[in-house]
Structure 1
Amino acid sequence: MSFCGYIFTALIIILQHFCAAGQPSVLEAPTLTQVAVRGSSVELLCQAPQGYGGLIFKLFRLRKLIDTIQHSTEQREARFVLWGKDMDSNNTWYCCQYQNSMYSSYMEPKVSISPPTSPHLVVEPSSGHIMPGQTMSFHCQAPHVPEKELPEAFLLLKRARGTSGTMVAPAKLVSQSHQSHFTVRTMGREDGGEYICLYQLTLPKMGQVNSTASQPVHITVKELPVPTLSISRHGSEVLECVGSPSYPQAFFSLFCVGTLSPQATHQASLTQHSARFPIPTRYEHGTLFQCQYSVQLGNSWAYSKMSTPVTLPCIKGHHLCMPSPAGNTGNTDLALIVGSVSAGVLFLMVVSLLSFAVHRHVKAMAERRRQREQEKFWQHVHSRDHIVDLTLQRVDIGSEDFGRTFRGRASVSEPIYNCPDNLH
């Protein structure tokens, strides 16, 4: 209680004391306490002092009377239940009175947000063991509560370890009902596990809330062993489907892969758990076959999974093996086209690489040829730039007279340039 609440309570008690001073017959004040919280409701206990009691007990919100309990015999206490609607007010101070006693001290209820009580879940079959293809029936029932807390919807969840659960069926909306039913058809072992249910309702000050989960129920899906299909010889080639020895006299069906309707169905004898199917007289090359068996368990049927596919080869001399259909030919042609395109692309890449290498080689050869021609040209030019051979010859000028005239003189020689006729 807050400080203001204490002051307010003290003022009320003082006023009651002065008002009751002239009334010596006024009974002592009771006590008002909160004893329980259930969902959106709060239970208050109005209790008279030891040695006192009364037939009528009253509960007030401030000075406004909101509830009265009348006993057939004098009692010391009375229990009042406050709902969310009653507490939806700014003035949530309450007091009580028995007979014409003084008022109790005021108190403010503490409403804690706690989820509604969990429902109860049962399943049929009650053993929890079921076969694939069978249907489970779940019955979820909420506890009986006042109309103010009636469920609005029920949910069924499958819970794995460490998870809150996933819905396995649409939520069931209800009106003025404490229970709901769910039906779930099992498909395989994955449908086994732990199932729970809960319900939803709308509470004042809290909005829509979920109840706590019910106690879980455990479901075990017992699958039929997978059959085996093989080609065997019993006078002639046949397809033999073998099931589980635990289920004799089962119904065996032969399927062509890709079809929903069986080509043939046989029931095994009372002591057998297999069936033989003759190979069709006409079939396509590479046809795949599967088989399946079913047994009746109680009022429902359980179906095994399909066997591993078996390819039916061409058996010459006994059957007519037809070529593959046009669809398969189309697939083969497509593969051939893709392969041809790939080979063409690879060939073009090789041709491109060879062309590039040849071009580089031709270019290199041309470059070397050009260099040789240049070298030859410059050698020819240098051969023309040789040194001219100038030979000095002695030439005698004049006659003997001239010689005698100049006898005694030194002979004079002049160089004569002997130019060649032509230059090479």
Structure 2
Amino acid sequence: MDERWAKRACQGALLRKFELTPETYRKRFQGVRKTSGVSYKEVTNLLGEYLCKWGKGTGATTTEDAYNLVGLEQLYDICPPDLKMWLVDRKPKDLRSAGAVADEFADKLPAPGPSISVSPRGVIAPGQAITIRCQCPCEARRLFMYKDGIKIREVEAAGDGGEFTIPSTRWEDSGSYSCRSRSRLEPPNRSDPSDYVRIVVAEPSYPKPIISLRPSGGVSLGGAVSVWCRGQRRGVRFVLNKEGRHFPPVDSDDIEAVFPISNVSREDGGSYSCSYHSRSEPLAVSYPSDPMELVLRDPSLPRPSITLSPTGVTAPGADATIRCQGQRRNVTFFLHKAGDLNPQRHVDPAGDGAEFRIPTMGRQHGGNYSCSYRPQSEPFISSYPSSYVELVVAEPSYPKPNISLSPSGGVSLGGAVTVWCRGQHRGMRFVLNKEGRHFPPVDSDGFEAVFPISNVSREDGGSYSCSYHSRSEPFTVLYPSDPVELVVRGADATIPCQGQRRDVRFFLHKAGDLNPQQHVDPAGDRAEFHIPTVSRQHGGNYSCSYRPRSEPFVSSEPSNPVQLVVAAAPPDFTNTNIARLGLGATVLLVLGLILAEAYYSRPRGAP
């Protein structure tokens, strides 16, 4: 017995001496590489040989043994060094026991401490709200906040952390704050504490600064922008505040500081404010500036379209509606007026379009308007603005002009038509209006102007009106002309009807027909009546009215009429021309026969 034991001990010593242990073959197995001059067959042979000797050396004889051998090796590779040493010392036999041993080790260690941030930073004025955020992988954990080492509050963590808010700070809120997490399972596992953040509450002694953006007209994702903070003291330290973002303070010898932001990303969008304080007296601080939003434009969002109703010049006291149409739902639309940095209004519609109403307009409402939208899930990401529509508010000074079409009977697809606008004053600027279409104004030395439209398409069909105004006094304007309808033969026609109430039913009427042509129940205060494939019987004067749905037999007065002119298609002379050619050929043939008969019936020798 002693001889066999001594023999095995001698064999083990020899194997270790010549590095023929299972650990040696494990390292050789993992170190196999394909090199030049070595075939893939030789590589696979080496892999098989080293794996076999590694397994035999550890006593692996079954498929399950090999499964645990390779699985444990992978587990060791992904474990932290201290956990790997813990596992190797305890020599687990399989993956299941290794997992239990690893969890036992992890439960005895504290979790990493959360990170902590406070917004706004710097000195806080009494009554100002602050938010302390603790961030960590906090699934199934609770968060605790400490002030000067004493636990004061706790919250359930959600996702990647939690927030503690002090809605109105007081002097006694000054202090050092930290946080830590604890598992909800028993026995509880506590994390290390976070770093400390210092909160100082003091009465501001300087007036608030002014915050602004450059460029001020907006910035696209990936672009650059600078936040300017301008105070009323020289030689102070400026602090820029944004929730969830830290900016290093800036010392300035002037009265302002600049915080540049390059390669702008989605995370940079949000609300910013700034403040400043004395470098030598940190408690001598300013009030925070008013908040300012940084909204980022995303080129991947399609631009919206914009329309104005009514078009042309609008008299004071009338109503106007600006419609913004997008391509996405769950967005907020914003109306912008040129020269005003802040949006005029915003609307959260149910669909992909929004209407902005301007009731009882005054001259102050005149100007150029555009619109944009922001996804409700990303309130600081915006589309690019739409094109502009011009809203002109002025008291008409001249009688309305006359509008006509030439040819007047309609036009075929691909043809040409001219819109004539005739006023009662010379040397004016004429404007042609059509919803959804822009025409350059025309200056005329006579009484009228011409707007040619070539290669007519379906989009050219619709209702047109025109107006004119003085070149030197652009707001000396007149009423627009009555509308004229351009009908494109072979195309469809649309007659829009605009009301001033919702929950109504619109009716389309044709002069000479006692019964309404159509009715529509729109979601808003506007309806469109479509006439597909217009033909001669559709021509005539049309008007519309509406009835409240709650009072179906009470109607509004009808609108002003609009004329739909449908020209007859040009006559087809093909068959007539063929008949005429045939008749001409017959006459020629008869004349030829008569001449031939006369020639051959002449006596011979006659002159």
Using the size of structure 2 for normalisation, the TM-score is: 0.22
Q: Which has the larger radius of gyration?
A: 1
Higher RCO (CA-CA < 8 Å; seq separation 6+): 1
User: TM-score under structure 1 normalisation?
Assistant: 0.29
